[in-house]
A and B are shown apart, each in its own frame.
Chain A
Amino acid sequence: MENNIQFLKEKVLLNETLSFSKEVEERIKILKHEKTTKPVIFVGASSCGYVAGAQKTIDAINNYILENNISVDVVKVGCIGICALEPIMDVQLPGMTRVSFKKINAENVASVLDGVFNNSIVNECVLGQYRQKNLQAWENVNFIDEVDFFAGQKRIVLELNGIIDPENIEAFIAHGGYRAFIKTIYHYTSNEVCKIIEKSELRGRGGSGFPSGKKWKIAHDNAADQRYLICNANESDPGAFMEKSIIESNPHKLIEGMAIAAYGIAASKAYIYIRADNKLAIERFKKALEQAKAFGLLGENIFDSGFNFEIIIKKGPGAFVCGEETAMLNSIEGKRGMPRYRPPYPTERGLFGKPTIINNVETLCNVPQIILNGPIWFNTIGTKASKGTKVFTLSGKINYNGIIEVEMGKSFEDIIFKIGGDVKDNKQFKAIQLGGPAGTCLVKENINIVVDYEELNSIDAIMGSGSIIVMDEKTCIVDITKFYINFIQHESCGKCIPCREGTQRMLEILEKITKIPKDEASHQTLERFKGVMQLESIAEVIKDTSLCGLGKTAANTFLSSLKWFRDEYEEHIFDRKCKAGVCKELRTFFIDVDKCTGCNACMRKCPENAIIGTIKYPHFIVESKCTGCGICFETCKFSAIFIK
């Protein structure tokens, strides 16, 4: 029997009919782990899994196998998306469907596996079983696609994430990978590829949603001896981690998308710009590149088509601004990552002065499916102006944080309350921050808006990085805005004045309104107040005049939060109160005399000696001494201390 490489190359990749002989079909099933002779255990092993303790789970599984002397394959897979329930472990017994378990740690591995091997599944740990043809389903076990988190999703980009071994190209090809690339180089000219993508109406997922096919065409039609493709994987904003996760979970999909895109714009060289600290993603991508090279899917004269293509990994230093395309060009060229003025656009004069296409990970991962299923198929998904799906990361005060992919047209209400499983700890929903630190906030009044570029535009919001951060009633909007402005200020490249100076001044003003001024002279008070009066005006100037996308959107968070929560700002400024009880200096603690037992614990811990009282009698907080640090609040075992 020929080896797997030969088999996959000749019988699978080069067979374009899609009708395989029974023998081939069987062998593909083995590579897909659908047909197995011994049990297979899959463990979610991407960053989120490891953070939740996947390594301990794997060790425990290995122990279990040794102790019970059974023959089992353990496969490390990527992230299925529901990061909140990691470590996730799937088990597939011969002839049975694959079943997924949540929150499997070293303690409960043995009991869950005992159950599976004895045909009695421990139900509280079950996430769900997969629907697999020709395999016997477990009784009394729900299907995974019926779980709310998955039921509301449509997965194109994330299709194989968490299902296949990201470090195994054979599994990817067995699942239909690289077929789109082979189809492209054998059947389409570069022009045709651009047309297909244009017809599919795929829009760049990086933020503003520029039609990808149109962009490719411009670069393609600019005469040049060299063109470049750059994959933007410099995901740097707090609350966004899907690009990292996609690369960790299915790097080959990205390589395939990049190869097709490069063919489309007639580029023989591509860069992937990724943060150096995303070590696991880089490692897996590197491995994937080696495997693809070994298969002849990268390199010179790929599959005798005459197309040459190589991918270079460029590790970024971890600067938010380097995600801005022109700053990224400078960074790759070895210069300081500062944006350039456009025009000239990168499609005309980009990397090293050559026509360059910059697409982000998600955009490129959509490409193979479009080629394989045709633009019409893609066109039927989504809304009138926005086709396909969109990947989001859910984080913050939400039950199921993780990575999701929904069809365009889905409302954010559904995303939060159905897929995300509502706000954590039964708290009241306050707002979501859409698009990271430079994004906008959506509140109860407009949460029913749907995922669509145009719709979001109409309320001055952008899809941005695709991060959704959920805030509950205990989040102070001034505090969170301060956090975002601080982030933007620290990540500003310093080139243009409005962004560099403006955000710093905004930050200083916000810091002042979340503090109680002490020893302030009258002219300082006046100065502080003048600043407050200028806050909105500075924000508008930053928005109107900044050089790059980062600067133009720098004040968005502030402006949108001010629109919806002006009363909260005013409360901070005029009443010096923080309703949410977050801004330390603005909170005052009181002791409920009925609840206080006089245990003296708070008094001993108070760093300011602001608590007075006699043992066994209710204590009292001296308001003028209290700095609002909250130590007493955390210390009290009788809930006798409250914020007012």
Chain B
Amino acid sequence: MIFDIEVNNKIIKAKKGETILSALSRNGIKVPTLCYMEELAPSGACRICVVEVEGQPNLVPSCAQPVEEWMRIKTHSPKVIKARKTIVELLLSNHPDDCLYCERNGNCELQKLAVELNVLERRISGQKGKQKADRSGSSMVRDPKKCILCGRCVRVCEEIIGVSAIDFIKRGNHCEITPSFQKGINLSSCINCGQCIMCCPTGALYERDHLPEIIDSLNNPAKHVIIQYSPTISVTLAEEFGVKSGKDINGMINAALRKIGFNKVFDSSFGADINTIEVANELVNRIKTNQNLPMFNSCCPAWVKYIEQTHSHLIENLATVKSPQQIMGKLIKGYYAETFNISANDIYTVSVMPCIAKKFEAQREEMTHKGITDVDAVLTTRELARLIRLYGIDIMNIESELADTILGTRSSAGKLFAVSGGVAEAVIRTSFNLLTGKDLVNFKIIELRSINKGRKEFKIKAGDYEIGVAVVSDMINAEKILNEIKNGRNDIQFIEVMACPGGCVNGGGQPIPSRKEDIKARIKAIYDVDDKESIKFAHKNPQLNELYKNYLGNPCDENCTTILHTSFNKRDVLL
């Protein structure tokens, strides 16, 4: 039902059941928000979005209040503006005054609100918090002093991801958001997905900075610095430089990274292709022997940690293959080093990932062998943008270049790792070939490409076998499917789980903010690559086949297993 309401002395159309905020924004009236999150039920906590409704004694939060036919609303009356301004001033009254040194300087919602509401003077001053930043995590830093307790991170962690690693404690002004028992985030059940960072309005949550070490290595002539970047980076980095989401700047990234001084630039999609070959072989073996099914992907380190800490009895079900990042790191320090006769000790490997869990993965003890770490440093998309700016590179105006060969050619299947469902699609393409000797004609698996579904399922007949695939991208849906398996469901052989909704295109290391429409555009850009490029199967990647022939041997053989596979162990955390 559509009816009229009066807003600021004008009549606008509103739908029954929608909130005031939604009616206003549809009609082009902007009301600032802070705790509001589109996908979640309103909490009405921050009170920034209050409006004046005639006849109501108090101001009402537009994000939570449904519209009613009788409403006459004022969105910017003196009373409303005074309230909003006072609320922002209250937040600023005990906020650390270090905007210039803040991670989120220039991209801070609190800063923006202060500008919008014309806060130019400190009228209220309060005692500042003395909490120390929690730097225990290998992926992220929590700085409670900057936390304005909007609660977005808590809600994302509980209601979208389904982990609940953090929550409110204490009362009144002593209120804080912390992991269990106020211990460090490293001991908590946090899976490092980084979605909390993505929704944090201030600099209270941010990734652990790896830039200084990388710059040191770049400046060290003895070091051979090699960078690899995830399939996702090329479609998101441009947003950091003010370009509309969904632009693929792969070639420019190659050029920019060389300008910065990296000795070699590789595309991790090559690692994704190897991951696909190994996972497909492992899956086919398991299906043939009917062992440890359903098999889970192991390329998402957040998901792997989740299994290790909450479902350790299912560790056997994880594929044993390393993630593309680690495969690339291992090959760079092994194959590449041998080929060019460089000591692995002199090589410094950097990866650019859309993810902060990759920082955690890189430092897992399984990923260091005889003192040689596969990946030495991990940058997020945001950090890479900072590095590019630091080196003064006008990335949007440089000539495109190709990635370095030897570990640089890719199939478009490897590129698909960037989206939820992509890993499954790539693995199916190769598994089908392994089981039937033929390539899929309809290689685009539309069933796994829907964006809005929480869970996607697909079944395909391959020779004598039927492979059932399920795809989810958060722990809530993962938990649901694990429950079904526990209750006897056995028609699923492969489950792809990504921790971040939508997959790596929406990873915790991506540009802030990453809105829904941005994510859609990024996904489209990835599928466009799959449409355009000629090599669509991992097993058709010529460089990869060369590598297997000359160096690795047969997939899942002993040599491959030592180089490309790993093991996972039960993990004790505070739940």
Question: Is there contact, CB below 8 Å, between A336 and B167?
Answer: yes
Q: Which of B211-246 contact A (CB under 8 A)?
A: none
Question: Is there contact, CB below 8 Å, between A547 and B173?
Answer: no
Q: Which of A480-514 contact B (CB under 8 A)?
A: 489-498, 500-505, 508
Question: Is there contact, CB below 8 Å, between B45 and A496?
Answer: yes
Question: Is there contact, CB below 8 Å, between A552 and B175?
Answer: no
By a CB distance below 8 angstroms, the chain A residues around B151 are 495
Q: Can you list, as one digit per residue, whether each of B34-66 has a CB less than 8 Å from chain A (1) or not (0)?
A: 000000001111111010000000110100111
B168 interface residue (CB < 8 Å to A)? yes
Q: Quick one: which of A491, A508, A545 has the most chain B CB within 10 A?
A: A545
**Among A14-22, A379-387, A535-543, which stretch is in contact with chain B?**
A535-543
Q: Which residue of A lies closest to B148 (CB)?
A: A497
Question: Is there contact, CB below 8 Å, between B87 and A504?
Answer: no
Question: Is there contact, CB below 8 Å, between A501 and B126?
Answer: yes
Q: Quick one: which of A492, A502, A538, A541 contacts B171, CB cutoff 8 A?
A: A492
By a CB distance below 8 angstroms, the chain B residues around A495 are 43, 45, 149, 151, 168
Given A341-B61, A489-B173, A501-B93 contact (CB < 8 Å): yes
B31 interface residue (CB < 8 Å to A)? no
Alpha-carbon distance A533/B86, docked complex (angstroms): 13
Q: How far is the CB of A190 from chain B (nearest CB, A)?
A: 29
Q: Which residue of A lies closest to B154 (CB)?
A: A336
B124 interface residue (CB < 8 Å to A)? yes
Question: Is there contact, CB below 8 Å, between A547 and B44?
Answer: yes
By a CB distance below 8 angstroms, the chain B residues around A492 are 171-173, 175
Q: How far is the CB of B192 from chain A (nearest CB, A)?
A: 24
Given A494-B172, A497-B91, A538-B90, A505-B83 contact (CB < 8 Å): no
Q: Which residue of B lies closest to A533 (CB)?
A: B123
Q: How far is the CB of A210 from chain B (nearest CB, A)?
A: 15
Alpha-carbon distance A385/B445, docked complex (angstroms): 69
Q: Which residue of A lies closest to B63 (CB)?
A: A341
Q: Quick one: which of B47, B58, B167 has the most chain A CB within 10 A?
A: B47
Q: Quick one: which of A338, A503, A508, A531 contacts B168, CB cutoff 8 A?
A: A338
Given A501-B90, A538-B86, A545-B58, A489-B172 contact (CB < 8 Å): yes
Question: Is there contact, CB below 8 Å, between A547 and B126?
Answer: no
Question: Is there contact, CB below 8 Å, between B125 and A490?
Answer: no
Question: Is there contact, CB below 8 Å, between A505 and B126?
Answer: yes
A534 interface residue (CB < 8 Å to B)? yes
Question: Is there contact, CB below 8 Å, between A496 and B175?
Answer: no
Q: Can you list, as one digit per residue, whether each of A524-563 has a CB less than 8 Å from chain B (1) or not (0)?
A: 0001001101100110010111110000100000000000
A343 interface residue (CB < 8 Å to B)? yes
By a CB distance below 8 angstroms, the chain A residues around B46 are 496-497
Q: Can you list, as one digit per residue, whether each of A110-147 has a CB less than 8 Å from chain B (1) or not (0)?
A: 00000000000000000000000000000000000000
Chain B contact residue count (CB 8 A cutoff):
40
Q: How far is the CB of B529 from chain A (nearest CB, A)?
A: 44
By a CB distance below 8 angstroms, the chain A residues around B123 are 530-531, 533-534
B127 interface residue (CB < 8 Å to A)? yes
By a CB distance below 8 angstroms, the chain B residues around A497 are 45-48, 87, 90-91, 148-149
B82 interface residue (CB < 8 Å to A)? yes
Question: Is there contact, CB below 8 Å, between A547 and B45?
Answer: yes
Q: Quick one: which of B64, B79, B87, B174 contacts A341, CB cutoff 8 A?
A: B64
Given A495-B151, A496-B45, A530-B124, A541-B173 contact (CB < 8 Å): no
By a CB distance below 8 angstroms, the chain A residues around B148 are 497
Q: Which of B68-121 contact A (CB under 8 A)?
A: 79, 82-83, 86-87, 90-91, 93-94
Q: Which residue of B lies closest to A524 (CB)?
A: B125
Q: Quick one: which of B45, B59, B90 contacts A544, CB cutoff 8 A?
A: B59
Q: How far is the CB of A333 from chain B (nearest CB, A)?
A: 13
Q: Quick one: which of A500, A527, A531 has the most chain B CB within 10 A?
A: A500
Alpha-carbon distance A503/B79, docked complex (angstroms): 19
Question: Is there contact, CB below 8 Å, between B83 and A490?
Answer: no
Q: Which of A293-350 contact B (CB under 8 A)?
A: 319, 321, 336, 338, 341, 343
Q: How far is the CB of B151 from chain A (nearest CB, A)?
A: 7
B369 interface residue (CB < 8 Å to A)? no
Question: Is there contact, CB below 8 Å, between B93 and A546?
Answer: no
By a CB distance below 8 angstroms, the chain B residues around A544 are 50, 58-59, 79, 83
Q: Quick one: which of A491, A498, A537 contacts B47, CB cutoff 8 A?
A: A498
* A-B contact number at CB 8 A: 120
Question: Is there contact, CB below 8 Å, between A537 and B168?
Answer: no
B170 interface residue (CB < 8 Å to A)? yes
Q: Which of A460-483 contact B (CB under 8 A)?
A: none
DSSP class of B's interface residues: helix, strand, loop or mixed?
loop
Question: Is there contact, CB below 8 Å, between B82 and A537?
Answer: yes
By a CB distance below 8 angstroms, the chain B residues around A547 are 44-45, 47, 61
Q: Which residue of B lies closest to A494 (CB)?
A: B175
By a CB distance below 8 angstroms, the chain A residues around B126 are 501, 504-505, 508
Question: Is there contact, CB below 8 Å, between A501 and B64?
Answer: no
By a CB distance below 8 angstroms, the chain B residues around A319 are 171
Alpha-carbon distance A476/B87, docked complex (angstroms): 30
Given A543-B58, A544-B79, A341-B168 contact (CB < 8 Å): no
Q: How far is the CB of A122 from chain B (nearest CB, A)?
A: 51
Q: Can you list, as one digit per residue, whether each of A33-53 has a CB less than 8 Å from chain B (1) or not (0)?
A: 000000000000000000000
Question: Is there contact, CB below 8 Å, between A530 and B90?
Answer: no
Alpha-carbon distance A498/B88, docked complex (angstroms): 9
Question: Is there contact, CB below 8 Å, between A527 and B125?
Answer: yes
Alpha-carbon distance A530/B125, docked complex (angstroms): 9
Question: Is there contact, CB below 8 Å, between B58 and A341?
Answer: no
Alpha-carbon distance A75/B59, docked complex (angstroms): 55
Q: Which residue of B lies closest to A492 (CB)?
A: B172
Q: How far is the CB of A517 from chain B (nearest CB, A)?
A: 14
Alpha-carbon distance A531/B93, docked complex (angstroms): 10
Alpha-carbon distance A116/B171, docked complex (angstroms): 54
Q: How far is the CB of A497 from chain B (nearest CB, A)?
A: 5
By a CB distance below 8 angstroms, the chain B residues around A508 are 126-127
Q: How far is the CB of A64 from chain B (nearest CB, A)?
A: 49
Q: Which residue of A lies closest to B126 (CB)?
A: A505
Alpha-carbon distance A343/B66, docked complex (angstroms): 8
Q: Quick one: which of A336, A501, A534, A552 contacts B58, CB cutoff 8 A?
A: A552
Q: Which residue of A lies closest to B151 (CB)?
A: A495
Alpha-carbon distance A492/B168, docked complex (angstroms): 13
By a CB distance below 8 angstroms, the chain B residues around A552 are 58
Alpha-carbon distance A498/B79, docked complex (angstroms): 15
By a CB distance below 8 angstroms, the chain B residues around A541 are 82-83, 86-87
Given A491-B171, A505-B93, A534-B123, A545-B50 contact (CB < 8 Å): yes
Q: Which of A587-634 contact B (CB under 8 A)?
A: none
By a CB distance below 8 angstroms, the chain A residues around B167 are 336
By a CB distance below 8 angstroms, the chain A residues around B58 are 543-546, 552
Q: Which residue of B lies closest to A319 (CB)?
A: B171
Alpha-carbon distance A495/B171, docked complex (angstroms): 9
Q: Which residue of B lies closest to A546 (CB)?
A: B47
By a CB distance below 8 angstroms, the chain B residues around A493 are 171, 175
9 A-B pairs with least C-beta separation: A494-B175, A341-B44, A504-B173, A501-B90, A541-B86, A341-B64, A492-B172, A545-B47, A489-B172
What are 30 contact pairs spanning A and B, CB under 8 A?
A321-B171, A336-B168, A492-B171, A493-B175, A494-B171, A494-B172, A494-B173, A497-B47, A497-B148, A497-B149, A498-B47, A500-B149, A500-B173, A501-B90, A503-B173, A505-B124, A508-B127, A527-B122, A527-B125, A531-B124, A534-B123, A538-B124, A541-B82, A541-B86, A541-B87, A544-B58, A544-B59, A545-B50, A545-B59, A547-B45
Give B residues with C-beta under 8 Å from A: 42-48, 50, 58-59, 61, 64-66, 79, 82-83, 86-87, 90-91, 93-94, 122-127, 148-149, 151, 167-168, 170-175
Give A residues with C-beta under 8 Å from B: 319, 321, 336, 338, 341, 343, 489-498, 500-505, 508, 527, 530-531, 533-534, 537-538, 541, 543-547, 552
Given contacts A493-B171, A494-B149, A544-B50, 16 further A-B contacts (CB under 8 A): A341-B65, A489-B173, A492-B175, A495-B151, A497-B45, A497-B91, A497-B149, A501-B93, A503-B173, A505-B124, A530-B125, A531-B125, A537-B86, A538-B86, A538-B124, A546-B47
